[in-house]
Structure 1
Amino acid sequence: MKSVREKLSEVQLVRAMAILGVLSVHSTSFATLAMKDSNYYILYNFFNIFTKIGTPTFLFLSSFVLFYNYASRPLDKRLIVNFYKKRLKYIIVPYCLFSVFYFVLLHVIHYRDRSLEETVMKFIMQLATGKAYTHLYFVFISIQFYLLFPLFLWLFQRKPIIAKWSVPLGLALQWTFILLNKYFLQVPNKGSWSLSYMSYFLLGACIGIYYPKLKAWLNVSRENANAGRIASWIALWSIGLAAGLGHVYVWHNTRLNGIQYNSLLYELLWNVHTYAFALIAFQIAHMLHRHGWSWLNRWMKRLGELSFGIYLIHPFFLLVYRMFPPHTSISQLHHLWYAGGFLFALVCSWIIVALAVQILPHSWLLFGNIPARKPQRPITVAASNH
């Protein structure tokens, strides 16, 4: 295993795809409730469900980056201290500040009559559980993975055979939790707990540790093609597409027709869909890097670099945007308004985060470790943020 590994430009491209997925889900969430009488409801439901790859892909990618960079390094006190210093500085501090921001925002809008004691206790509970705003659960889950990371790194370094079995181990841990929760535990907000995403965490660990061996399989190209790889590529894309469309279909029936399926079916389709697309996103990133337009690669690379900041701030712009719905019976304008929400959140978030990085000397307090834009910079990345 190499002690120094190459920087991967594909990482930022995957991040870009993940944040676009997050924005698609969040910008269509209201439409899935309000547009049920529309002939285009099938599209709203499709974009809301099929693009749910965002958060799982971010979690997979976070684990990949951690294990890719740390797996071959000695696990000692210095490594652990530096690791947690970086997470505290670039992840937890922005999380806390944005938790305060959203909590105060919602307090002013909805809870002005709440007592001071109740307000303080509510904030402490929400900060401790990632509930200050709906999207912050992702950072809460990431923090849980950061707490687990040294333990898994130690285990994989001491017992490499376990690292080789990390993919089935992750699936077993996640589905054991899902089944126990359904029939016995019934944990509230189970989606805010790391065990619900353990398959992605250990998939990222496996790919990160064995990336030099798996790179040829992840890089779909003529020179890497052989009968076995072609068959596995077709299988992966077919399974991902089938599960994704099945995921869309069951939610369409549930939302529009009131049909309720067994909760395990929703879990299974979501898991297979997002699990496959975490890998497919890596393959697409390789193809874009090799064959995509240079302007598209530069645009997506920068979007990937800004993605953590965009993730944190974009719900604010959606909240503002939704204060001005169209007052018209013309359906086309409603469709344009919903599409405009996606663009408004993306563009405004991008501008604010990019300007902050360029102008504010301590922008990391808000948006984490984002590199300032440098012209003519080669497309390489340093592992950070997610």
Structure 2
Amino acid sequence: MNKTNVLPRERLPELQLVRAFAILGVLSVHSTSYAVSAMTESKYFFIYNFMNIFMKYGTPTFIFLSSLVLFYNYYDRPTTKKLIGGFYKKRLLYIIIPYTLFSVFYFVLLHYLYYQGRPFGDTMESFVQKLLTGKAYTHLYFVFISIQFYVLFPLALWLFKKLPSLAKWAIPIGLVIQWTFILMNKYYWQVPNKGSWALSYMAYFMLGAFIGIYYPKLKAWIVISRANVTPYRVTAWVMLWVMWAAAGLGHVYIYYNNRLHGTSYNSTLYELMWNAHTYLGALVLLQLAILFYRIGVRGWTPALERLGAISFGIYLIHPFFLLIYREFPLATGSSIITHLWYAGGFAAALGCSWIVVELTVRYIPGSWVIFGNIPKSKKFVKPADQPTAPLSGS
């Protein structure tokens, strides 16, 4: 096929549901971060621990999905200066500018709350250091990691197109790079805040690259449907879900023992359980999103699709609402009210963030400066009526 006349790939709107599942995971982890420390004496501690650990798939899934979308969109297109220039222009406008704005916002907020007496020179030095390392607030490390992958992406794209056989090895390459970094850092380098560096998530980036490049060939193995049923595929689906559940519950279990009983485990075990749980979970969430979208549950599917579309904006602003919410803790001896208060943190983070993002996108011109390229809400279209078009979000 002539590369200059490449047909657009099939549109994959169900990926918005994966984003929705990922942001719900992020909100669950962040909204229970206080509870897992404060509720160890509660008989319901296992629920808080479960929500805090089992839902840790959020950030890895976002990285996996971002990589999948990029390689799905760009792999079959000619790699020209115009293409790469457009790629970086979009990242600058819709990712780096909002990241910088929110870095300023959170830094100023924390300065007002805790560091008002700090000298101006020290303040500016601290801000520049935090901006360049994704540390202006606890959640911004994810955007910092994403920026690192955006720098890496054109090189990886060029390499996989230059050596197509290498793309077939993307999954083991990603796992080897990530685990080499983990082990070398543990025994030799001791890089501070290693979770803020892309090498800690290379397996997810390469998994997304592999599926993005080969999705048309892998689709029959990914999409769970009657038409795709064969003994080998059913076996693969069952094994994937069973291994994911086992890894996830094992991940929850070691944290439960550590937090409740003080049981100590080797740090490599935590890394292994987290990696297995979230790595398999990214694939499970992809399958679950496709199933959910195909079923088209009335009310839920369009809501989740919209949640996925605005997930970046919600990710940026939700810690602000959690911070405000936690400024008003309940002074009560009622366990029921305490549980409701913790649940309210999740509801406030999701609900307030959703409302603010939607109102900003709808009524403020140039809202992309604040929350990135978020489209205005539109009527949900059933899968059968979806037009074939390039995947959005490129």
Please confirm whether the aligned pair reaches a TM-score higher than 0.5, indicating the same fold: yes
Amino acid at match of 1:155: L
Distance of 1:293 and 1:378 partners within structure 2: 10
Amino acid at match of 1:222: R
- Which aligned segments of 4 or more residues in structure 1 are displaced greater than 4 angstroms? 376-382
2:154 alignment partner, SS class: helix
Q: Indicate whether 1:253 and 2:262 are aligned.
A: no
Q: CA RMSD in A?
A: 1.2
Distance of 1:150 and 1:253 partners within structure 2: 43
Distance of 1:218 and 1:371 partners within structure 2: 28
Q: Which residue does 2:175 correspond to in 1?
A: 171
Unaligned runs of 5+ in 2: none
Amino acid at match of 2:83: L
Q: Which residue does 2:351 correspond to in 1?
A: 347
State the Cα distance separating 1:217 from its structure 2 match.
1.2
State the Cα distance separating 1:4 from its structure 2 match.
1.2
Percent identical across equivalent pairs? 61
Instruction: Describe how 1:142-221 pairs up with structure 2 within 5 A.
Output: 142-221=146-225
Q: Indicate whether 1:309 and 2:318 are aligned.
A: no
Q: Which residue does 2:49 correspond to in 1?
A: 45
State the Cα distance separating 1:289 from its structure 2 match.
1.1
State the Cα distance separating 1:382 from its structure 2 match.
4.4
Could you list the per-position Cα deviations for residues 306-329 of structure 1 after superposition, in whole angstroms to 9, with x for gaps in the alignment?
100000000000000001111111
Q: Which residue does 1:62 correspond to in 2?
A: 66
**TM-score normalised by length of structure 2:** 0.96
Unaligned runs of 5+ in 1: none
326, 330, 335: which one pairs with 2:334? 330
Q: Indicate whether 1:273 and 2:277 are aligned.
A: yes
Instruction: Describe how 1:103-142 pairs up with structure 2 within 5 A.
Output: 103-142=107-146
**TM-score normalised by length of structure 1:** 0.98
Is the CA contact (8 Å cut-off) linking 2:302 and 2:380 kept in structure 1? no
Distance of 2:44 and 2:197 partners within structure 1: 35
State the Cα distance separating 1:377 from its structure 2 match.
5.4
63, 73, 97: which one pairs with 1:93? 97
Q: Which moved more, 1:263-272 or 1:286-295?
A: 286-295
Q: How has the CA–CA distance of structure 1 residues 356 and 238 changed in structure 2, closer, same or farther, with 3 Å as cutoff?
A: same
Distance of 2:289 and 2:306 partners within structure 1: 14
Is the CA contact (8 Å cut-off) linking 2:9 and 2:391 kept in structure 1? no
Is the CA contact (8 Å cut-off) linking 1:3 and 1:73 kept in structure 2? no
Amino acid at match of 1:28: T
Distance of 1:336 and 1:278 partners within structure 2: 30
State the Cα distance separating 1:260 from its structure 2 match.
1.4
State the Cα distance separating 1:53 from its structure 2 match.
0.4
Q: Which residue does 1:383 correspond to in 2?
A: 392
Distance of 1:372 and 1:383 partners within structure 2: 14
Q: Which residue does 1:236 correspond to in 2?
A: 240
1:223 alignment partner, SS class: helix
For this pair of structures, how many residues does the alignment match? 385
Q: Indicate whether 1:33 and 2:42 are aligned.
A: no
Q: Which residue does 2:291 correspond to in 1?
A: 287
Distance of 2:165 and 2:347 partners within structure 1: 47
Amino acid at match of 1:129: T
